[in-house]
Structure 1
Amino acid sequence: MFKQVLSSIVALALSLSIGSAFASVDVNTANSDALRGIKGIGPAKAKAILDERQAHGPFKDAADLGTRVKGMGGKTVQRLEAEGLTIGAAPKTAAASLASPGSGAAVSATQVSTSSTAKPVVVKK
């Protein structure tokens, strides 16, 4: 009985770790390697996204991405979103929003710099 409970716990932990391994990639902050980690984005499409983002600023939403990057229509963008591509960065100080101003709780947020040489972790199913 103990072995059965233990194997159930191990199976649950494994399934939760696999689910959390799926990470989203924000089109407005990702580098070329991170974009290429999304199934359906190769080197040429990653370059086109980065060139357009640098020339005209961040993408507002999925429709904006589909309009501004050649070859990326609505269905393509939807498919890429299903693969983990997101449009729009998370708030820079998400930790600061956890404490209300009058609560007396002190929360500090540290800016984390991103490196263009860092390699993203890619999990293939």
Structure 2
Amino acid sequence: MGNAWWNMTLRFLLELAALLGLGIAGWSLSDGWWRWVLALALPLIAAVLWGTFAVLNDPSRSGRAPVPVPGAVRLVLELVILFGGAAGFYVAGYTITGIIVALLIVISYAFSLDRLGWLLRQ
């Protein structure tokens, strides 16, 4: 799977953006102490899910999978978290940022068709 360095970098930055978007959504969509709980819990839950559920021997990751899952499950998890982060920006009022992040996710996956095919075969 020959993902270019720029796409791997973009993917990493999109993962970070997703966590930020989820945190911003948690902060902006709640009040009082719930604001703190959701702003911290949403990105933490996403990061735990991202790091825990993986496809065994995924060359785009370490190859380790604490909880091995089929490739289609991993793909859905990735898409939910990444687009969830983009939606988080959008609903928190950072409309342009949310749209740009969503477009960058599509671009990243468009240049990762080999990985998508590999995931769907697992």
**Range class of TM-score, shorter chain:** under 0.3
TM-score w.r.t. the length of structure 1 is: 0.25
Larger C-alpha radius of gyration, 1 or 2?
Answer: 1
Which structure shows the higher helix fraction?
A: 2
